[in-house]
Amino acid sequence: MTKQRQSGFTLIELVIALGIFGIVMTVAYLSLTSITEAKQTLDDTRDVGQVADAVLSRMTRELQLAFAGLPLMPPPDNLGTPYSSKVNLIGEEDSLPNGMPGDRITFLAMEGGQYLPDGGAHSGVVQISYRAERDPDKPSNEESYYLVRQETPYTRPFDKAYQKTMIFPVTRDLVSLQFRYLEKNGDAWTGTWGKDANVNLPRLVHFTLQIRSPRGSIETFSTSVPLRAKP
């Protein structure tokens, strides 16, 4: 009599098959995780990039409307001391509590007014300021800031004009804000403008802002804006 050979897997073959299956699944899982992580990173970078593009475009447009035909309005707490006719833009260096730059800029813009909720707008010349302020919605241990825009119509009397000031956040999760100014005659950049020897408008304004993305990475964006020299 001939013996019939029984078909099936031996224990060793089963162990080998399970090992190969485990390796394949591990590679597939790592590949899927890598793809998911890459997509999330790209989405994160894209989202913060879209915000930065909108902010840079807005600030660029307003700086291009910078007006040198009038002096800046005197500060609201010192209305009796007007600026000279050559003080059309003031740039001040400052630091945030996180140790990063938190500069300020104030300038006049022709027809740069923000639309009001009632459908109107500040027409003519407006005084615009940009600065960084701490985000009150974040815990005190988190160094997060708003980019704040302030707008005041250039009308007299100035005390009445300041009553019409609009202040609103442009974007949150700001990490730093820095401005640099290029003199008209020469190639020297400076971090301040308008209160000392500088006069009228700089030839170029370069500004850099850093924004924290939703996933916590810090992205840097910058651009240079040419300013017109005469009103």
Hey, how many other C-beta atoms are within 10 angstroms of the C-beta on 121? Answer: 15
pLDDT of residue 5: 55
Lowest mean pLDDT segment, chosen from 59-63, 91-95, 209-213, 226-230: 226-230
pLDDT of residue 231: 47
Distance between CA atoms of 56 and 147, rounded to whole angstroms? 12
Nearest CA to 177 out of 134, 139, 113, 227 is that of: 134
pLDDT of residue 58: 93
Confidence check: pLDDT of 117 > 60:
yes
Query: How confident is the model over 123-135, as pLDDT tens digits?
Result: 889 999 999 999 8
Q: Which residue has 């997060």 as its token pair?
A: 144
Lowest mean pLDDT segment, chosen from 32-46, 81-95, 100-114, 167-181: 32-46
Cα–chain center distance at 28: 39
Confidence check: pLDDT of 143 > 50:
yes
Nearest CA to 89 out of 226, 198, 186 is that of: 198
Confidence check: pLDDT of 8 > 80:
no
Helices (H) and strands (E) in the chain, counts: 2, 8
Distance between CA atoms of 83 and 107, rounded to whole angstroms? 12
The average pLDDT across 167-195 equals 90
The average pLDDT across 168-185 equals 92
Confidence check: pLDDT of 173 > 50:
yes
Please give the radius of gyration of the chain, using alpha carbons only, rounded to the nearest integer.
29
Confidence check: pLDDT of 108 > 70:
yes
